Amino acid sequence: MKILLAYDGSPSADAAIDEILNRPWPEGSEIRLVTVVDKPLSMPPPTGVEIYAPLVEKFKASLREEAYQRIQQAIARFSPRTDLQVSYELRDGSVKQGLLEAIRAWDPDLVIAGSHGAGPVARLILGSVSHALVTHAPCNVEIVKMKVAS
């Protein structure tokens, strides 16, 4: 079985890892963690473009490095599960588009993602990655919600 985990290092993504770790899967199942580093939303100042470009590149490189470190920590959590083959993919660009492209390219049987639980206003402004996965992925999608302390 091939399972793609949309992983962004958030507590809800960690809850999705817990969900995978707590279930039995067929021997040799493949888990691929996919992280998409979104491009920074900023515009260069009207003057000083020659200074601004290297700063943006440095910032993007630091975002990729942080994402790489988070994904390595996540992969380490799978070490007790020798029945699972774990890999990762680090992409740049729009999160929704990057995840959907990774899904189409790898052709998993199941996609698992954590839900951030954004309210209606945040969903309207930011859009919902979970919604995009559920409506556009060509396979089954499971959205893991974090347990709320009562």
For residue 102, pLDDT beyond 50: yes
In a domain, 150, yes or no: no
Residue 9 confidence (pLDDT) above 70 = yes
Identify whether the C-beta of residue 71 lies closer than 8 Å to the C-beta of residue 88: yes
Q: What is the mean pLDDT of the chain?
A: 87
How many domains, the chain?
A: 1
In a domain, 57, yes or no: yes
Q: Is residue 55 part of a domain?
A: yes
Give the pLDDT confidence of 84-94 residue by residue, as tens digits.
999 999 999 99
Residue 126 has pLDDT above 50, yes or no: no
Q: Is the pLDDT of residue 39 over 80?
A: no
pLDDT at residue 119 is higher than 80: no
CATH number of the domain to which 94 belongs? 3.40.50.620
Average pLDDT, integer, range 62-76: 95
Residues in the chain: 150
Q: Is this model's pTM higher than 0.75 or not? A: yes
pLDDT attached to residue 125: 44
What angle is formed at CA 33 by the lines to CA 60 and CA 64, rounded to 5 degrees? 10
Question: Domain limits at 52?
Answer: 2-40+47-144
pLDDT at 53: 67
The residue type found at 14 is D
